[in-house]
Amino acid sequence: MPKNVRPQKVKEDTEFGPKEEQYTSAPRYYSTPSQPSQLLIIILVVMSFLAGYLLAKVRSYEGNGAKVANQQTTDIQQQQVQQPTPVPISLDRIKKFFGDEYMHFGDANSKVLFVEVSDPSCPYCHVAGGQNPELAKQMGPTFQYDTDGGTYRPPVTEMRKLVDEGKASYVQIYANGHGNGELATQALYCAFEKGSYWEVHDKLMSNAGYTLINDQVQNNKANIPALVEFLADVTDSSNLQSCLESEKYKDNIARDSQDALSIGYQGTPHFIINTTIYGGAQNYSAMEGEVNKASGG
């Protein structure tokens, strides 16, 4: 396993929606013992001792069990009925993101409009960002980059190519996906203002950036100097320091979060091509058909 890469449990986002892993195709990762341990043997002995007792209890509750099961089924059905119907996204709504107050490249008149809802602390956002092959490889073959012997084409990398060629426009807005990305997003806003967005983006979305954001910075203003030092070689340090300390773009974070909810965000990353939603860190190959259709290619 590469250095500085460690699996992190994706936390449930209690403020903005369900936990992230429900909206990506990432498999679960866990460790299993290679041989039975003494603790396991003890547990098995205790379980066998309790088996007879539990069997008697189960029989005594069989009559009530059917009623409980029926009630649970009814509750689940009611919850399914109560799920909100997704609101269709209009192209006019998407075009509003390509104004001066957002981090965007290109304009609203492009045939292809990319929206990325992301959180710099989110592991799947890092995979989709194309700058963290170490984390991508750790997550398994599904996410191993095509440039690293795999088949996964990071969507942000491919979107940038089209933007650079003048064939598409791109905007990134923030939503809480992992809980530690607000200060890093403010740094992106500060960098965008000075024309160094992609340089800062690429460093924050590297494996070293992932570790810094989640293990050290963690949205704590006291750790701004560490963030500034980390980005010193790609953007103006003095400007970044004052920009972050003044919380110049703090309100943008709150606004972005509300905007994300209005366009169907349920977890990060969340991509939109014109009005078509692609939830999770999907392979760009799954999006390419929609891009070609929109561009007329």
- In DSSP terms, 270 is beta-bridged to 117, 279
Average pLDDT, the chain: 80
226: left (phi over 0), alpha (psi -120 to 50) or beta: alpha
Q: What is the DSSP string of 2-59?
A: -TT----PPPP-TTTSS-GGGGS-PPP-----SS--HHHHHHHHHHHHHHHHHHHHHH
Cβ-proximal residues to 21 (8 Å cutoff; 6+ apart), any chain: 10, 28, 267
Q: Give the pLDDT confidence of 134-182 residue by residue, as tens digits.
A: 999 999 999 999 999 999 999 999 999 999 999 999 999 999 999 999 9
294 CB neighbour count, 10 Å cutoff = 17
First-residue to last-residue Cα distance in the chain: 41
- 199-212 pLDDT, tens digit each: 999 999 999 999 99
Please provide residue 120's backbone torsions phi and psi, each rounded to the nearest 5 degrees.
-60, -15
Local structure of residue 216 (DSSP, 8 states)? I
What is the model's pLDDT at position 50?
A: 55
Share of the chain above pLDDT 90, in %: 70
Distance CA 106, CA 188 (A): 17
The answer for residues whose C-beta is within 8 angstroms of residue 26's C-beta and 6 or more apart is: 124, 139, 140, 142, 143, 280, 281
Taking the C-alpha atoms of residue 13 and residue 100, their distance in angstroms, rounded to an integer, is 29
Residues in the chain: 297
Task: Write out pLDDT tens, residues 14-69.
Answer: 333 333 333 333 332 222 223 333 444 344 444 554 555 455 444 544 444 444 33
The stretch 76-84 carries a mean pLDDT of 37
Q: Class assignment of domain 91-295?
A: alpha beta
What is the band of 88 on the pLDDT scale with cuts at 50, 70, 90? Answer: confident
pLDDT for 234-277, tens place per residue?
Answer: 999 999 999 999 999 999 999 999 999 999 999 999 999 999 99
Q: Provide mean pLDDT across the span 282-297.
A: 95
Does the pLDDT at position 3 exceed 50?
Answer: no
**What does the DSSP assignment read for 276-287?**
EEEESS--HHHH
pLDDT value of residue 44: 46
Strand partners, 105: 170
Which residues make beta-bridge pairs with 276? Answer: 273
Q: Which residues contact 84 (CB under 8 A, 6 or more apart)?
A: none
The whole-number pLDDT of residue 184 equals 99
Query: Residue 133 burial by CB count (10 A; 0-12/13-18/19+): exposed, middle or buried?
Result: buried
DSSP letter for 218, please.
Answer: T
pLDDT at res. 47: 54
